[in-house]
Structure 1
Amino acid sequence: MKIIILLLCSMFGLVTPTIENDRDRWKPYYLDVAPNKVADNWFLPFESNNRKSVKSIKIISIFGDHRDSYYKGHIHTAIDINPAQPKSRLIPVLAMAAGVVCSIHLGENQKTVVVKHKLKNGSTMFTSYKHLKEVYVKNGQQVDEKTKLARLFTSAESKKYGGDYHHLHLEIRKKFDDYGCGSWLTMNNTQLNERFYNPQNFIKANIK
């Protein structure tokens, strides 16, 4: 009942959605499961001749951009990317390293897959892949860098929904206690950096 009231208030502008009052409706999509393997070898999420070369991707939008596309004052929590030279019309999205699928959420034109990773030092982190047309994995599935998680929208499919979905919104997350809603809610730079890494910096440091 509390969630329904908050949703109705949000729809009519009576309550500004925050992570604290929005995350409960996304928690049911999260599965608390541990990765079987350590993520010690990282790759870019598209097929290419060299998945460790940043030249194999093109960046459309950067991390930390301020935009009002969803809520006023929203900050971009990811980088938007495409393969520089797509190998096919239907572009698969691959896991960046060993891990386990811990969340699949949102609707047909906004499907998101989140992978939980275990690092050498025992800590965990998450990669989140958004704007997916088809998902090929299930919650709780162990994956590695060869696993196809999903595929991107084509330009034609994106236009059908009146949006710009034919790219990958790639998040590198320090934690997932918001269960995904931080991706579209308004936050300041302190809150952004509390939960998210800058993907460009992460790629530079870990994909060599």
Structure 2
Amino acid sequence: MIALLLNIFLITFIANPTIESDKARWKPYYLDIAPSATATDWYLPFELANRKDMKQIKVISIFGDHRDSFLKSHIHTAIDINPAKPIGKLVSVYAMATGIVCSVHLGENQKTVVVRHKLADGSTMFTSYKHLKEVYVQQGQQVGQKTKLARLFTVQESKKYRGDYHHLHLEIRKAFDDYGCASWLTMNKQQLNLRFYNPMTFLKEKL
């Protein structure tokens, strides 16, 4: 763990990486495999009374604002969300639609699952779920909206890392050619629009 943190520090704060210079480091976590079925129906990623009702989630941070974590003024590539009324102490995260798990990264406080989806027009897109405490799926696993991918940190567990990790960082991606590093290395609107959809717009259109 110490070696991993040192590596992140050296690359992030000394080398001043870009998406292009850093993406090869994350490629081993990606499996280039296509879903077996088409995603035609979409749901919110939590256990809720109605997974089609946007009012049942609470938005903590919006898409496209500037952040000072990792690299100063990088752009937030997601929305940070929680259930408005959690069913229990442990919040489970579910796949939003039919797809296949193409990436699992198990950094201690940054566990990430990425699901690749095939759309009706034959195109591909990705949903990315970050800030996961426990992951229950593996690369190459076909999933659907009832598949439990992971669970979030509790408030108490999040405090261990001196950060705010008890929420879901939800990305809706057009591409995954960066293998994940664009999540913290996106520095301008061109990079943002190249790889990411606004999750709020996407959800309003698909639910």
1:22 aligns to what?
Answer: 22
Measure the CA separation in 2 of the matches of 1:12 and 1:126.
Answer: 29
1:133 aligns to what?
Answer: 133
SS, match of residue 21 in structure 2: helix
Kindly indicate whether the alpha-carbon contact (under 8 Å) linking 1:72 and 1:186 is maintained by their aligned counterparts in 2.
Answer: no
Measure the CA separation in 1 of the matches of 2:12 and 2:45.
Answer: 35
For 1:1-208, list aligned pairs within 5 A. Answer: 10=11, 13=14, 15-207=15-207
The 1:109–1:203 alpha-carbon spacing in structure 2 relative to 1, beyond 3 Å, is same
SS, match of residue 192 in structure 1: helix
- 1:153, distance to aligned residue in structure 2 (A): 0.1
Question: How many residues are aligned here?
Answer: 201
- 1:12, distance to aligned residue in structure 2 (A): 6.0
- 1:108, distance to aligned residue in structure 2 (A): 1.6
| Runs of 5+ consecutive residues of structure 1 not aligned to the other structure | 1-5
Moved over 4 A (4+): 6-9
Q: CA RMSD in A?
A: 1.4
Measure the CA separation in 2 of the matches of 1:84 and 1:91.
Answer: 11
Amino acid across the alignment from 2:121 = N
Provide Cα deviations, 1:65-102, integer angstroms capped at 9, x if missing partner.
11111201200000000000100101000000000000
Measure the CA separation in 1 of the matches of 2:56 and 2:171.
Answer: 18
Kindly indicate whether the alpha-carbon contact (under 8 Å) linking 2:12 and 2:70 is maintained by their aligned counterparts in 1.
Answer: no
Measure the CA separation in 2 of the matches of 1:165 and 1:8.
Answer: 19
Could you state the TM-score of these two structures normalised by the residue count of structure 2?
0.94
- 1:55, distance to aligned residue in structure 2 (A): 0.7
Could you state the TM-score of these two structures normalised by the residue count of structure 1?
0.93
| Runs of 5+ consecutive residues of structure 2 not aligned to the other structure | 1-6
Measure the CA separation in 2 of the matches of 1:96 and 1:10.
Answer: 33
Provide Cα deviations, 1:112-158, integer angstroms capped at 9, x if missing partner.
00000000000000000000000000100000000000000000000
Kindly indicate whether the alpha-carbon contact (under 8 Å) linking 2:74 and 2:185 is maintained by their aligned counterparts in 1.
Answer: yes
Kindly indicate whether the alpha-carbon contact (under 8 Å) linking 2:13 and 2:71 is maintained by their aligned counterparts in 1.
Answer: no
